[in-house]
Chain A
Amino acid sequence: MCGKPLNAKGDCVACLLRTGLGTAVESKPTILAFGDFEVEQQPDGSCWELGHGAIGVTYLASDKVLRRRVALKVIEVPSAARGSQAVRDRFLREARAAAALRHPNVAAVFQFGTSPDASHCYYAMELVEGETLAARVRRDGPLNAKEALKIAIQIARALTAAADHDLIHRDLKPSNIMLTGDSEVKVIDFGLAKAITDAGGEMDLTHGEFVGTPTFASPEQFEGGPVDARSDIYALGGTLWFALTGLAPHPGKTLDEIRDRKTRAGLPVAQLIARRVPEPLVKLLRSTLAIDPGKRPASAREFMEALESCRRNLSRRIVVRSEEAALRSEAFSRALTDAKACAGDPESLQALFDSAAKKAAAVSKKPFKRNWAYLQTMLRLIRAYHRGEYRQVSNDALVWIIAALNYLVDPFDLIPDDTPFLGLVDDAHVVELVTDKTRRTLDAFMTWETAAR
């Protein structure tokens, strides 16, 4: 084997291709190394990935000199940029600024470098034990306003400190927020990642295409022009929105769809109302997520102060009620509580499940079936589960299915009984479908409810 990553069947695809060319090599596996850092290996010999995104992979690695573990981010440099002095200078500038940034809410950057052939850039960061905000919300559901504000304020502090170093993040999002212990925040990937892949006007590295995660990016980032701290403020607004609702304010399946929503659609404030987010915070989020950067808080410090003011106001319990939406939200909470109560008890779970499915089957068809493909997926699973075709649905997934059914299914059209069950999902996938899509649908449902009334 030549040391290249293996495919899912454990074969080395590079070796298999070489054999076709008659140039097979039989060498020992090599360890992936960048400068002083060696990527650690899993017991099966594969590289130990901590995470990967659109622009790079983060590995668990060892610093061979200082003998400590680090998080090593490795980013492939677009081929068009490899010979560019401007890009190299830009990366160096950002890297120096990031390394100089020392703050309790920022994961420290220790070292950076490029591979000898300039094809990859890497930087070593403080290894943060914990989970990302995205993972926390996926696991526990949306946070309450107090908890969300506590996190947002720490992020705003990190941004304020960064602003003192003329540094902006450019890719702030829930998966770049690490939570340690009691919701203590460490912002990761400050500035560097995007500096490599997005030259921000100095050079079109990406051939006009957006690199990174568009969901939380500011509208001006889609234009490819220079961005400033207000872009990070927008992204922090989106991240706070996600923490409060479990949803992105402008989701979409494609780049165009997301861009359109960001620049044309209004904010789905019904999501916040449904979650009983206090009015001052709703107002602040409206301004933070303004399309025009000039209408957002002018600096991270200003935003931080506004967030702290919201936190102080929380004790006054100023809550905006949209009566129906709030009642619906409560109904869902109750359904979820009921379902959770039965999670450890298979018999009760089954009884609740049967009751929900029976209720679902008895509901008459309603005229708004177009947007409910997700529900079809759940019902396929449920029916298959009933027929004994699929018994691997996890309890967590069932809890969500039941809660969603109890709460949501009544008004909806159901798929015909003869719809074949695709059986394409594993447990993790079920959880993803049910949690993520249920929340999204809740949002859509709230919007529909609000509009209908």
Chain B
Amino acid sequence: MFAAGRNEAEPQIAEAALAELCRGYWAPLYAFVRSRGHTVHDAQDLTQSFFAYVLEHKVYARANRQKGRFRSFLLASLKNFLADAADRERTLKRGGAHVFLPLHEEQAKEAESLFQTHSGMSNEDRLFDRSWAEALVATALERLSADYKREDKEQLFKELRIFISGGADPVPTYAELTDRLGITKSTLRSHVTRLRARYREALRSEVRRTVDSEQQVDQELRELLHVLTQM
């Protein structure tokens, strides 16, 4: 993303990168807007308009890696955007000419569900960070799932996903899995290890898009983990 901010030679690529990133983090921004008391539809409009504003005004070009992470930058920009009464007035007018990102039903539902899940949090910044963390891991999992699908290993990914995602379901035993997948225990162990490594890289790669260094990747992950484990 920060690369997009500096990529003057290839603006379309930069915008495409931004659009992709924005799509991935639509939900946390929407949740933040909702936490400010806007209705579902107004929050959708405001979030959409915010992204349109970011792109149109090339706000991302002002981002400076030295000054903080993309997450903080985006949140600060959103706060400014919401504080601007003129912008807000303008964006509340429906049916504007420019639609930046198509809003899918599923995406909007998930974003609202995310907001409802965390709407009890006392601090809207924390709500945003928590939603961001969820969007981050979801994006990494989606990318990994797509990779496994491309390799015709979709079933393997589905069976082993629980080893990285935790969840309420009991983790199946290796014996159960070797029976189901028709592989040996050592092969299974190797698959699980590889899946963890690949997920780890997918997640870090996703974080890397929003920060500048490996050190910051760790820092960002720790910070988000801290937000999640405070309660």
A interface vs B, CB < 8 Å?
1-2, 4, 6-22, 24, 26, 29, 44-46, 52-57, 75-76, 78, 119-120, 197, 211, 252-255, 373, 376-377, 419, 422-424, 426, 429
Residue of A nearest to B130 (CB): A13
Q: In the assembled complex, which residues on chain A have CB atoms less than 8 Å from the CB atom of B141? A: 11, 16
Asked if B114 is an interface residue, CB under 8 A from chain A, the answer is: yes
Report the Cα distance A76→B122, complex, angstroms.
7
- Nearest-neighbour CB distance to chain B for A80, whole angstroms, equals 11
Inter-chain contact B105/A424, CB cutoff 8 Å: yes
Question: How distant is A378 from chain B, measured CB to nearest CB, in Å?
Answer: 12
Docked complex Cα distance between A420 and B231 (Å): 42
Look across to chain B and name the residue whose beta carbon is closest to the beta carbon of A257: B37
- Min CB distance B161 to A, Å, is 8
Known: A21-B222, A76-B231. A12 touches B119 (CB 8 A): no
Q: Which residues of B contact A46 (CB under 8 A)?
A: 168
Which listed segment binds A: B62-70, B149-157, B200-208?
B200-208
CB distance from B36 to the nearest CB of A (A): 6
Partner of B196, one of A1, A17, A24, A76: A24
Q: A21 to chain B: which residues have CB within 8 Å?
A: 218, 221-222, 225
User: How far apart are the CA atoms of A15 and B168 in the complex, in Å?
Assistant: 12
Contact assessment for B120 and A56 in the assembled complex, using a CB-CB cutoff below 8 Å: yes
Closest chain-A Cβ to B199's Cβ sits at a distance in Å of 6
Q: How far is the CA of A10 from the CA of B137 in the complex (A)?
A: 13
**Contact at B122–A254, with CB atoms within 8 Å?**
no
Q: Beyond A20-B200, A52-B119, A376-B94, is A15–B164 a contact (Cβ under 8 Å)?
A: yes
B184 located at the interface, meaning its Cβ lies under 8 Å from any Cβ of chain A in the complex: no
State whether B221 touches A17 (Cβ < 8 A). yes
Minimal Cβ-Cβ distance residue in B for A436: B39
Q: Identify B200's interface contact among A8, A22, A253, CB under 8 A.
A: A22
Contact B207 A20 (CB under 8 A): yes
Contact: B39 with A19, CB < 8 Å?
no
Question: Can you sample 7 A-B contacts with CB below 8 Å?
Answer: A10-B168, A16-B141, A19-B200, A19-B203, A20-B200, A55-B122, A253-B42
Majority secondary structure of chain A interface residues (helix, strand, loop or mixed): loop
Q: Is B75 an interface residue when CB atoms closer than 8 A count as contact?
A: no
Asked if B177 is at the interface (CB within 8 A of a chain A CB), the reply is no
> Does B110 contact A17, Cβ atoms closer than 8 Å?
no
Return chain A residues, CB-CB under 8 Å to B134: 7, 13
Q: Is the beta-carbon distance between A17 and B224 smaller than 8 angstroms?
A: yes
**A22-B164 Cα distance, complex, nearest whole Å:** 11
* Contact between chains at A2 and B166 (CB < 8 Å): yes
Distance (Å) between the CB of A188 and the closest chain B CB?
A: 16
Q: How far is A83 from B68 in the complex, measured between Cα atoms in Å?
A: 28
- Tell which of A29, A57, A76 has the most Cβ of chain B within 10 Å: A76
Residues of A within 8 A of B138 (CB): 7, 9
Q: Which residues of A contact B191 (CB under 8 A)?
A: none
| Docked CA distance A345–B141 (Å) | 47
Known interface pairs A253-B38, A373-B41. Does A19 touch B168 (Cβ–Cβ under 8 Å)?
A: no
Residue numbers in A under 8 Å from B218 (CB-CB): 21
Which of B110, B164, B169, B230 has the most C-beta atoms of chain A within 10 angstroms of its own C-beta? B164
Q: Is the CB of A377 within 8 A of B41?
A: yes
> Which of B34-52 touch A at CB < 8 Å?
36-42, 44
B225 touches A14 (CB 8 A): yes
Q: Please tell me if B187 contacts chain A, counting CB pairs below 8 Å.
A: no
| Docked pose: A271 CA to B199 CA in angstroms | 57
Q: Residue on A with the closest CB to B121?
A: A76
- Say if the beta carbon of B229 comes within 8 Å of chain A: yes
Interface string of B112-155 (1 = CB under 8 A from A): 11100101111100000000011011101100000000000000
* Cβ–Cβ contact B166 & A16, under 8 A: yes
Closest to A437 in B: B39
Residue from B38, B105, B165 having most chain A Cβ neighbours under 10 A: B165
Q: Bound complex: CA of A298 vs CA of B141, how far in Å? A: 60
In the bound assembly, the distance between CA atoms of A253 and B40 in angstroms comes to 11
Which of A18, A44, A45, A255 is in CB contact (< 8 Å) with B225?
Answer: A18
A422 engages B105 (CB within 8 Å): yes
Residues of A within 8 A of B204 (CB): 20
CA distance A83 to B230 in the complex (A): 16
**CA A350 to CA B207, docked complex, whole Å:** 52
- Whether B94 pairs with A78 at a CB distance below 8 angstroms is no
Q: Is the CB of B36 within 8 A of A254?
A: yes
Q: How many Å from the CB of A145 to the closest CB on chain B?
A: 30
Residues from chain A with Cβ under 8 Å of B42 in the complex: 253
Contact of A254 with B37 at beta-carbon distance under 8 Å, contacts A16-B137, A16-B166, A422-B103 already known: yes
A120-B114 contact in complex given A14-B225, A16-B164, A55-B122, C-beta closer than 8 Å? no
Known: A7-B138, A14-B228. 16 other contacts (CB 8 A): A7-B114, A8-B113, A10-B168, A10-B169, A11-B166, A13-B133, A13-B137, A17-B133, A19-B199, A20-B203, A20-B207, A56-B122, A78-B122, A377-B41, A419-B95, A429-B112
Q: Which A residues are CB-close (under 8 A) to B171?
A: 26
Q: Is the CB of A211 within 8 A of B165?
A: no
A76: chain B residues within 8 A (beta carbon) = 121-123, 230-231
Complex interface bits, B96-118 against A, C-beta within 8 A gives 1, otherwise 0: 00000001010011101110010
